[in-house]
Structure 1
Amino acid sequence: MVNSYSKKAYPWDNACIESFHALLKREWINRFKIFNYRHAYKLVFEYIETFYNTVRIHSHCGYLSPDQYEEEYYAALDRKAEALAG
């Protein structure tokens, strides 16, 4: 395995994570005064687990939240299974 580092001030090498970090800061972190590493860790965990992966809409999910997308996906599978079963 070879480590790959982008040049300083050249974020295009990893645009997806750069975009996520910008969202994290804009939507969540900038609202708080962070006291220490543990506090920052808890804030990031809370954002990811209780908002970003559950409630926040995503364009790749058809502008649904991941929870809504998953519900629709399994509902469609159930409909297909019922149609096949007769």
Structure 2
Amino acid sequence: MRDADGRPLLTWRELGGYIRQLPARARTRLAMGQTDGVWALQEHLQALTVDELRIANWQRSNEGVKESKQTKPPKPMARPGVGRGHDKNSPERIAKRKAALTRAADRRRALAAGEIR
């Protein structure tokens, strides 16, 4: 497809491809809620250091204490994009997939009927 001046138009698929290839810290990705790459290696290493120090302090504080009386171990710091547990077959994802398939079928029907070109 082309615009009035004959330039090729960008399809939604091409636009999605360009967005997926943006750098992790691009404002467009952040505006879309994609926080996977907000932290660089340095931030992850600092969080790991904090986690290790918390575990070491927990171990020292529970030294010589019966296992049944020990406090719970500390949870690791939350990191953006890590451990979110996206399940490919979660109900939300299944619903989104069904909606996309319905939209695609509706579009194919409209194209076949000549409603859109």
TM-score (norm. length: structure 1): 0.34
Flag the structure with more relative contact order, 1 or 2, with Cα contacts below 8 A and sequence separation at least 6.
2
Report which of the two has the higher share of helix.
1
In our comparison, the structure showing a higher alpha carbon Rg is: 2
